[in-house]
Chain A
């Protein structure tokens, strides 16, 4: 049977069909947007780890990436702006047997929600935080964000961004995260493996995913989506356990990818129980 005929017969049998709300697909993300690939890697990791999906939930904040919570066919919550981590913290404290995954964007997690991020990492809350970093505020029309590269053009930095961006893995490391990794959407296999590992690991895990926002960031910086993916291929280098100081995102030199932190320390709940719930 020619392949073209098979395509129609196979409708709705994608291997992740059971985890997506098919009636809401096609999703709202623009053509070439990286969020869909990062989301798909996250679902594969959730499914592939052999863990109980009934005990898994996803929390998102506001923004394009924040829409993910609405597409997963598991318990999920789309919270207010910047508040995905505190909501997830509440879920975990209230029901410690849940695997709580936060899937959101750089604006939500690191600008509006920046304080929540550093304190959840400091306390070592047992969460898996996945941040799709597309270097700008996509949903609201491409304004400069805390992650916009120096000199990049956005609607609010038309002459180029005068500020310097956060180095997110460095911030996560310094705040006390016990697992830190970074990949691009092109490295989706490695990304999936790391998310799987992060979910099964206890403690605060952080994974940054670089993904294109062709409509708002790409267009203003003369970067077609395929060119962004070429940058991901040619201007990156994989260096596990790299010094967090060397992890700034600057595609004029090589951007370092890999697994940077993988250590153990008592989680928030363990420390609390040990200190405040002493056996009588």
Chain B
């Protein structure tokens, strides 16, 4: 028998004996309702959720701007660009990010299949859209399908995310439901929940940002 057969047979054999369990909820409990009851609360109104997102994102050292227009986004990015002395930015084929990038006045690397990794490595920042934001945890959801692939959100030192108000999902459950619905049956090869810039505490538990990925994560919502 091959290993597949062996393992499946052992599992089947093993499970013939019923488990001895202690302290367990009954099978008929409604799980999604239970999850809602136990997870951190998210509030009822949009404003409460926005405030919660801001708090959670900032706690994990992401920078968050709720703005009124793309003009404001560009203004702020221009300031960051000067402060960090950007040389070039990476983005992905997308109307919104491209229109913003075009107004920064720097060389743009638009990532498409077969991009030059050395060029990409030199980029000072990347600008992407997202699939959604999660108020409950302060996370940004990106995917290989609609936000520029796998590396764009982790390779450059500064990752900038542009989100729209209607993309703010209240809970983790909502975000997962959204992902499932959006990609129904055709799951992207990667979906990532990003919360804050890359971090490590591996040396004496001292927090250091930018362990491997971005040192800064900036989120714009308009």
Q: Do A and B make up one complex? A: no
- Chain B contact residues, CB within 8 Å of chain A: none
